[in-house]
Structure 1
Amino acid sequence: MLDLGVVPHILTLLEQHVDEGDVSVQHAGLSALRNLAIPATNKVRMLEDGVTERIKSLLRSDMPPVQFKLLGTLRMMADGHEEAALVLGRDAVLLARVMEWCEAKDHAGVRGESSRLLAALIRHSRSAEVVHAVAKADGVRHLISMATSEHVIMQNEALVSLAIAFAIDIESMKEAFRDSVLLTMLKEMLEDPLGAIEVKFSALGLICSLANSSVMKEELHSVNMKESLSKLTEHSNSKLASQAISILASLGDSS
């Protein structure tokens, strides 16, 4: 289908229906693009076909089903594709619209997909520019909120993206960090007896990133993170216990 040039035709169809508001056409077109973007080799071709640029005309849509599909399509484009994640993650207009959708009061699906896109842009670009752009757009608080999701997959995506962001550009992250309940949340995750193992691993990864900064290390001490880590050193999962021991040792260096 890509060889036949179907992508530009779908994009043209979508652009024609942005203002006419035929939701079914937009929904179908975005579903097709999302599915076409799943194979890694297709992402390169679709980027060359201008998908990430042309699809942004749909940012004007005020229809939640279209917004939801658009966010999912953009996330699939960024998934495993550094260049696409860079292009999208540095786009101030896109980020501003995503911030609006992160607060969509009447559509939990749009809120969730917006936060997942932010996390994906950081995870797949691993770029200081993207971290800075997301922080500047006030996206960090949405990632922190996403880390408290009831869905384990979303918690993990948020925690991993935050760990990458702090490791890459801690200066951009500091301001949002000060206004958050991130450390309290991380303590609760580590100490929750019913918490998923993978969430605890991701939380430890973020704590490890924080511990590499002298300023953040002091913050970790201020909430007595060592106590929570100590409890984990006897966890039945040996890998989890081992990681907790390792982070405890690095925290001990400053005391």
Structure 2
Amino acid sequence: MRNIIRADGIPHLVSMTTSEHVVMQNEALVSLTLIVTMVLADAALPMKEADLSETICSLLQDQHTLPEILCNTLTLVRTILTSEHLRDDMLSSSACDAMRVLMDHSDEKVRQAASTVAPLLEDTTEGER
């Protein structure tokens, strides 16, 4: 993971999350989630510079994003919210609004995932007020 960071791979992974190929999107989301979980301190700056939070918001707001991709994106958001490094970027994005919409999604797994992430966004936001 650190080799990916050192080789400037983070922007490429972030870019892959919006690929037209679902497998590439999924692999990028899983990779980013693992990196956030394991070595976020090293990856936080490259992720900010690659506009990860904006990319996440665009995935969450796109009506054509597949439910599986939405669930993996929500897992990445949940992982980010448990860390101090990228939380502020996520909170300043439109993720809260997207989460409210996803709580009424037609897919049950997406609704469940959004329902578990939304309180984390709100709790974090309320704690900063």
Please say whether Structure 1 and Structure 2 have the same fold, judged by a TM-score greater than 0.5.
yes
2:50 corresponds to 1:211 = no
**Structure 2, gaps ≥5 residues long:** none
Which residue in 1 is equivalent to 2:35?
165
Q: Which whole-Å CA distance do the structure 1 matches of 2:40 and 2:83 have between them?
A: 8
Q: Which whole-Å CA distance do the structure 1 matches of 2:106 and 2:100 have between them?
A: 13
2:37 corresponds to 1:185 = no
- More relative contact order, 1 or 2 (CA 8 Å, 6+ apart): 2
Structure ID, larger Rg: 1
Describe how 1:7-46 pairs up with structure 2 within 5 A: none
Equivalent position to 1:221, from 70, 78, 91: 91
Percentage of pairs with the same residue: 29
The one-letter amino acid of 2:90's match is: L
Number of matched pairs: 125
Equivalent position to 1:200, from 57, 70, 78: 70
Runs of 4+ aligned structure 1 residues displaced above 4 Å come to none
What is the SS of the residue equivalent to 1:190? helix
Asked if the contact 1:159–1:206 (Cα under 8 Å) also holds between the matched residues in 2, the reply is yes
Asked if the contact 2:14–2:55 (Cα under 8 Å) also holds between the matched residues in 1, the reply is no
Q: Which whole-Å CA distance do the structure 2 matches of 1:246 and 1:196 have between them?
A: 19
Equivalent position to 1:247, from 108, 117, 122: 117
Q: CA-to-partner distance for each residue in 1:81-137, whole Å, 9 max, x for gaps?
A: xxxxxxxxxxxxxxxxxxxxxxxxxxxxxxxxxxxxxxxxxxxxxxxxxx1121011
What is the SS of the residue equivalent to 1:253? helix
Q: CA-to-partner distance for each residue in 1:177-210, whole Å, 9 max, x for gaps?
A: 1211221111111111122111111111111111
Asked if the contact 2:40–2:85 (Cα under 8 Å) also holds between the matched residues in 1, the reply is no
Q: Which whole-Å CA distance do the structure 2 matches of 1:198 and 1:187 have between them?
A: 16
Q: Which whole-Å CA distance do the structure 1 matches of 2:111 and 2:51 have between them?
A: 25
Q: CA-to-partner distance for each residue in 1:38-61, whole Å, 9 max, x for gaps?
A: xxxxxxxxxxxxxxxxxxxxxxxx
Asked if the contact 2:41–2:85 (Cα under 8 Å) also holds between the matched residues in 1, the reply is no
**Structure 1, gaps ≥5 residues long:** 1-130
CA RMSD of superposed structures (Å): 1.2
State the TM-score, normalized to the length of structure 2: 0.90
Asked if the contact 1:229–1:248 (Cα under 8 Å) also holds between the matched residues in 2, the reply is yes
What is the SS of the residue equivalent to 1:186? helix
What is the SS of the residue equivalent to 2:105? coil
Q: CA-to-partner distance for each residue in 1:211-231, whole Å, 9 max, x for gaps?
A: 111232221111131111111
What is the SS of the residue equivalent to 1:229? helix
What is the SS of the residue equivalent to 1:215? coil
How far apart are residue 158 of structure 1 and its match?
A: 0.4
